[in-house]
Chain A
Amino acid sequence: MRAGGGLGAADLAALRFTLTQAALSALFACALAIPLARALARRDFPGRGAFVMLLGAPFLLPTIVAVMGLLALFGRGGLLNGALAALGLPPVSIYGLHGVVLAHVFLNLPLATRLLLLGWSAIPAERFRLAASLGAPVGALIERPMLRATLPGAFAAIFALCLTSFAVALILGGGPRATTLELALYQAIRFEADFAAAASLALLQYALCGAAALAAWRLARAPLTGAGLGRPVERWDAQGAGLRLLDALIIAAGVLFVILPLALVLLRGLDGLAEMPPSVRGAAGRSLLVALAATAIALGLALALALRGGPLAEGAGALPLAASSLVLGTGLLLLIRPHLPLQAAALPVAALLDGLLALPFALRALRPALREAEARHGRLATALGITGWRRLRILILPLARPALGFAGGLAAALSAGSLGAIALYAGEGQATLPLLMARLMGAYRMEAAAGVALLLLALAFGLFAVFDLWGRGGRHARA
């Protein structure tokens, strides 16, 4: 079946399932993100800032924690089926393609919403004012062009993320009929040590993700180059009671969908906090260090690539999205082994890998902000002779601060939550929080693992919040 590294019938079935679930997941996540992001962009309400920040959380959760949270809500023993049983209704099963898509939407809707929200907030307030004074349709003239520029990127990012998902797909898909390419890869590397098969599967996956990125690049229309000033957006076009109610309902549904599974994770974890082993302190410290180093790597690379610009830089920045962390980790392991003891390299390599994997998201968030800054003030700065480092320091970075904060928070939290390659190398006393959680789960200690998961969620979310607040603080100070 795998002789010579070729693809068998089972691999083709895996390819089909991978594409179907990724396309459906990206489609639903983006389609649902449009009304949610629009509602958030034009409404102010108490707790708006907190909710926008909380939107980062599902994406940052370790997969198994997110799956447990979803199962506590939608599983056989979950709240939904409990309520259905109380009403005398038959249970619904989450296992199947719909479950995979539901989980991927839960994990990625917040990301899509944040990306679209960035697009909305990059529209200068003057445009809405102008449209209102002219009685022009805001949707067709202002919002649709922005969506055409933003949506393909968001779709492609989520599509690529779902292409490399396997734990969610396998668990909620209900077993081997939900085999993805990444699972086939995992099987080839971990169980069969069949590197020829792994390499051909990895190449296929790279090709798919590359095609997705290329399609998104061609679909995207001209970038936004408005020349307005960064003021809070006032809207004259959405004042009707019906629209207000609609937005309120959309936001309420979004809050429930994101918060309920998180709250259930929280509840499970509270009991486990007391059960955590003493080694949790060191693990938390190591997770924090790795996350900060990964953030520095991701932001540095993203800034360099965004400043250079052009399709080559864009392609380079998108590449890690197509990479399986398993393949990257195995590759780095093979590179390092002759030169350094693996244990000494474990933490730096984890930071490097996490930084690389976070790069596409950091770049995706930074690029429009840098472009906007250049479009608004670039000519003036050039006329004044502000170039090089000075241009970066006094023009670009202050204007890109919200995007920098968001990108940094995303990178830090993604790293804190990722098991990544550390599981391949780490020795005793080198565990990070996700690895400690995996080890506890492997030793029947599910309660303690839930406690560590809660701590991990707090750390990842705390990191995200600190960076994001810093970024958004800049904007408020200017307004």
Chain B
Amino acid sequence: MGMRPPAIWQALADNIVTVTPGWSEAYGLFLEGEADLVLSYSTSPAYHLIAEEDPGFVALEMEEGHYLQVEVAAKVASTDVPDLADAFLAFMLTDAVQSVIPTTNWMYPAVTPAAGLPEGFESMRPAVSLFLTPEEAAALREPAIGAWREALSR
């Protein structure tokens, strides 16, 4: 690992243009040329490549790995239409749905479609994906955000 997070953040602090309330404001600023790098998804370059035919974006590879953001569809335990919920979840896993996920939600599908992934999704897929259990994440969250705030507040 080398440097500990507080030291890393402190070293980075004077290179950080700004922090925004959410992803979309930051990405908007990035596209307006306010910053050369933005914290985003490794699938962002694929959006520009496919939707805008612009190959000028790359995702940087971090050797420690990239954290996964997972979006889910789920059946509520108290549902009064369990069969319908099961049918819907099964439908979500069909090739027809999974194959449109990459170019509509701009994320990786849960099941790789038979025809494979569109251009840009494999070429910039991070080598190491990180994923913590909810308990591990909850235990790490406060000290991690605290260290970040502390370093960037100076």
Instruction: Please indicate whether A and B come from the same complex rather than being unrelated chains.
Output: yes
Partner-binding segment picked from B26-34, B108-116, B118-126? B26-34
Flag whether B134 is at the interface (Cβ < 8 A).
no
Flag whether B19 is at the interface (Cβ < 8 A).
yes
B149 touches A10 (CB 8 A): yes
Within 8 A of B (CB), among A422-461: 438, 441-444, 446, 449
A67 partner residues in chain B, CB cutoff 8 A: 25
B interface residue count range (under 10 / 10 to 19 / 20 to 34 / 35 or more) = 20 to 34
Interface residue count on the A side (C-beta < 8 Å): 32
Flag whether B78 is at the interface (Cβ < 8 A).
no
A71-B29 in contact given A175-B152, A176-B153 (Cβ < 8 Å): yes
A176 touches B19 (CB 8 A): yes
Closest B residue, CB atoms, query A67: B25
- Bits for A1-21, please: 1 = Cβ < 8 Å to B, else 0: 100000000100100000000
A465 partner residues in chain B, CB cutoff 8 A: none
A177 touches B152 (CB 8 A): yes
A72-B153 in contact given A167-B21, A441-B25, A444-B47 (Cβ < 8 Å): no
The binding surface of chain A is classed by DSSP as helix
A438 touches B153 (CB 8 A): no
A68 partner residues in chain B, CB cutoff 8 A: 28, 32
A183 to B149, CA, bound (A): 13
A176-B106 in contact given A64-B28, A95-B18, A171-B20 (Cβ < 8 Å): no
* Option from A1, A170, A175, A438 in Cβ contact (under 8 Å) with B24: A438
Within 8 A of A (CB), among B45-98: 47-48, 51
B23 touches A442 (CB 8 A): yes
Closest A residue, CB atoms, query B40: A444
B20 touches A76 (CB 8 A): no
**How far apart are A381's CB and chain B's nearest CB, in angstroms?**
52
A172 touches B148 (CB 8 A): no
B142 partner residues in chain A, CB cutoff 8 A: 1
A174 to B24, CA, bound (A): 16
A183 to B153, CA, bound (A): 14
B22 partner residues in chain A, CB cutoff 8 A: 442
Flag whether B16 is at the interface (Cβ < 8 A).
yes
A77 touches B51 (CB 8 A): no
* Option from B16, B21, B29 in Cβ contact (under 8 Å) with A186: B21
Flag whether A166 is at the interface (Cβ < 8 A).
yes
A463 to B18, CA, bound (A): 34
B25 partner residues in chain A, CB cutoff 8 A: 64, 67, 167, 171, 441
**How far apart are B95's CB and chain A's nearest CB, in angstroms?**
23
Closest B residue, CB atoms, query A14: B153
B47 touches A77 (CB 8 A): no
Flag whether A75 is at the interface (Cβ < 8 A).
yes
A170 partner residues in chain B, CB cutoff 8 A: 18-21
Flag whether B154 is at the interface (Cβ < 8 A).
yes
A150 partner residues in chain B, CB cutoff 8 A: none
Closest A residue, CB atoms, query B148: A176
A186 to B32, CA, bound (A): 26
Flag whether A295 is at the interface (Cβ < 8 A).
no
A175 touches B34 (CB 8 A): no
A77 partner residues in chain B, CB cutoff 8 A: 32-34
A175 touches B16 (CB 8 A): yes
B28 touches A446 (CB 8 A): yes
Flag whether A179 is at the interface (Cβ < 8 A).
yes
B24 touches A442 (CB 8 A): yes
A129 to B44, CA, bound (A): 67
A458 to B149, CA, bound (A): 39
B34 partner residues in chain A, CB cutoff 8 A: 71, 75-77
B5 partner residues in chain A, CB cutoff 8 A: none
B154 partner residues in chain A, CB cutoff 8 A: 177
Flag whether B17 is at the interface (Cβ < 8 A).
yes
A72 to B23, CA, bound (A): 19
- Bits for A43-78, please: 1 = Cβ < 8 Å to B, else 0: 000000000000000000000100110011001110
A1 to B142, CA, bound (A): 10
A438 to B149, CA, bound (A): 26
B28 touches A441 (CB 8 A): yes
B153 touches A166 (CB 8 A): no
Closest B residue, CB atoms, query A72: B32
Chain B residues packing against A (C-beta within 8 Å) = 16-25, 27-29, 31-35, 44, 47-48, 51, 106, 142, 146, 148-149, 152-154
Shortest 4 CB-CB contacts between residues of A and residues of B? A77-B33, A175-B19, A441-B24, A176-B152
Write 15 A-B pairs (CB below 8 A) sorted by A numbering. A1-B142, A64-B28, A75-B29, A76-B34, A167-B25, A171-B21, A173-B18, A174-B17, A174-B18, A175-B16, A176-B152, A176-B153, A177-B154, A441-B28, A444-B106
Q: A75-B29, A441-B24, A446-B31 are in contact. List 20 more A-B contacts (CB 8 A).
A: A1-B146, A10-B153, A64-B25, A71-B29, A72-B32, A76-B17, A77-B32, A77-B34, A95-B18, A173-B18, A175-B19, A176-B19, A176-B153, A179-B153, A441-B25, A441-B28, A442-B23, A444-B27, A444-B47, A444-B106
